[in-house]
């Protein structure tokens, strides 16, 4: 068994989906592990069937990979149902760790309302930070216990609703949906749907020729323990994957750090060496999949300092062997610059997978 760990080297949006899909395409009997974060990720691949964005599923799904939600991944039943029904290729098997945290509509709505009130574009509004804080502050049920305790489901969701109402003023325009019985009914149905489509397994119980860990976000967004627009509430590097691999007898481990020849970032937050796209290179195209949206604001660009990139990758990888995956090379040729510092480089000029 071998393991590949695909990690964003910058602020996210580096092309992790393309890299995961490429390695899955060339492998048999592969398990695509969603390592961290939750459905706020958006990993896009360009295929003969058009552009596909994966949030609650791995980008290897398109090439037939089974999926696994690690204990560090936050489930979202609503997004799961929406995305599952839209998949061109559905996984034969979808596994999850029993201890996965899970989000409710109230986590997502509270996230969105807070962003509106602050006037910021710092969140995908999937309720990730909200879910984590809620888990730390009020009694919780794991997903299976929620499903099996039908008599307590409404009360449990009501408790979460009241938890947010203590600290959040619900605007008038939100009250109808916030207090909707239909919302609760539909959410519970979504919970049953995901429950019936997924299988609870420890990773050590599964046997595959290859494991592909698909991280969300990037190294420059890794958790600093604070709810800020500069970070995401998970470790975005190699740590979680190595923790999971301790349970397995895997000796062949390779980390794959993904970057473009330039920097990108969604919305608010620090972006090193920010420039207008045209001032980076006249060949840098407007991004195919990342456009303005009300949640994340503008998609921004900046110059990539390769020395800084080399330093943070080495610090994160430690003793684990790694390869650099450079996407969007058709837009900006810096391969000779990368080769001065990196030994093993894979180049992606066409995004088609």
CB burial of residue 53 (10 Å; 0-12, 13-18, 19+): middle
Q: What is the pLDDT of residue 50?
A: 87
Q: What is the pLDDT along the chain (353 residues), one digit of tens a residue?
A: 899 999 999 999 999 999 999 999 988 899 999 999 999 888 999 998 889 999 999 999 999 999 999 999 999 999 999 999 999 999 999 999 999 999 999 999 999 998 888 766 556 668 899 999 999 998 888 999 999 999 999 999 999 999 999 989 999 999 999 999 999 999 999 999 999 999 999 999 999 999 999 999 999 998 655 555 556 677 899 999 999 999 898 989 999 999 999 999 987 788 889 888 888 888 887 776 665 556 566 788 999 999 999 999 999 999 999 999 999 998 888 999 999 999 999 999 877 77
Q: Are strands 262-266 and 299-303 parallel, antiparallel or unpaired?
A: antiparallel
Distance CA 95, CA 69 (A): 6
The answer to whether the CB of 43 falls within 8 A of the CB of 241 is: no
Q: What is the pLDDT of residue 228?
A: 56
Helix (H) or strand (E) holding 138: none
* Residue at token pair 């580096």: 14
Handedness of CA 334, 336, 342, 347 (dihedral sign): positive
Counting Cα atoms < 13 Å in the Cβ hemisphere of 269 gives 25
The answer to whether the CB of 76 falls within 8 A of the CB of 38 is: yes
Q: What is the pLDDT of residue 139?
A: 83
311 contacts: CB under 8 Å, gap ≥ 6: none
Q: What is the pLDDT of residue 195?
A: 98
H-assigned helices in 26-149:
77-86, 105-118, 128-137, 143-148
Task: Convert 218-233 to b/e letters by CB count within 10 Å (16 or more is b).
Answer: bbbbbbeeeeebebbb
Greatest alpha-carbon pair distance for the chain in Å reads 63
**Residue 4 to residues 7, 45, 64, 197, Cα–Cα distance (Å):** 10, 18, 17, 26
Q: What is the pLDDT of residue 282?
A: 80
The answer to whether the CB of 308 falls within 8 A of the CB of 341 is: no
* Residue at token pair 């393991």: 3
User: Residue 303 pairs with which residues in a beta bridge?
Assistant: 262
What phi and psi values does residue 101 have, to the nearest 5 degrees? -75, 160
User: Residue 300 pairs with which residues in a beta bridge?
Assistant: 265
Q: What angle do CA 254, 100, 113 make, to 5 degrees?
A: 110
Q: What is the pLDDT of residue 65?
A: 97
Q: What is the pLDDT of residue 66?
A: 98
């Amino acid at each position: 068994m071998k393991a590949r760990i695909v990690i964003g080297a910058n602020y996210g949006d580096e092309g992790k989906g393309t890299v995961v899909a490429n390695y899955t395409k060339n492998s048999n009997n592969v398990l695509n592990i969603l390592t961290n974060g939750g459905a706020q990720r958006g990993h896009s691949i360009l295929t003969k069937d058009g552009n596909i964005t994966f949030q609650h599923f791995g980008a290897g799904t398109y090439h037939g990979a089974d999926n696994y939600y690690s204990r560090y991944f936050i489930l979202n039943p609503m997004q799961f149902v929406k995305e599952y029904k839209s998949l061109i290729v559905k996984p034969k098997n979808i596994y999850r760790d029993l201890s996965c945290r899970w989000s409710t509509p109230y986590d997502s709505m509270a996230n969105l309302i807070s962003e509106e009130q602050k006037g910021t574009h710092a969140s995908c509004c999937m309720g990730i930070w909200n879910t984590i804080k809620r888990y730390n502050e009020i009694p919780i049920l794991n997903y299976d216990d929620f499903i099996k305790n039908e008599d307590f489901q409404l009360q449990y969701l009501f408790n979460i609703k009241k938890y947010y109402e203590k600290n959040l003023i619900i605007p008038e325009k939100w009250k109808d949906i916030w207090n909707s019985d239909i919302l609760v009914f539909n959410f519970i149905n979504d919970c049953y749907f995901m429950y019936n489509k997924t299988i609870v397994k420890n990773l050590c119980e599964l046997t595959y020729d290859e494991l592909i860990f698909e991280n969300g976000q990037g190294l420059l967004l890794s958790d600093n323990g604070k709810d800020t627009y500069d970070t995401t509430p998970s470790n975005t590097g190699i740590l979680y994957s190595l923790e999971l691999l301790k349970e397995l007898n895997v000796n062949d481990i390779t980390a794959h750090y993904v970057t473009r020849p330039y920097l990108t970032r969604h919305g608010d937050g620090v972006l090193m060496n920010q420039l207008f796209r045209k001032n980076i290179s006249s060949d840098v195209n407007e991004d195919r999949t990342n456009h303005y949206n009300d949640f994340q604001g503008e998609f921004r660009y900046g110059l990539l300092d390769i020395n800084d990139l080399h330093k943070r990758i080495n610090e994160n990888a430690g003793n684990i062997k790694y390869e650099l995956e450079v996407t969007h090379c058709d837009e900006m040729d810096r391969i000779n610059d990368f080769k001065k510092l990196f030994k093993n480089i894979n180049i992606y000029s066409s995004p088609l997978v």
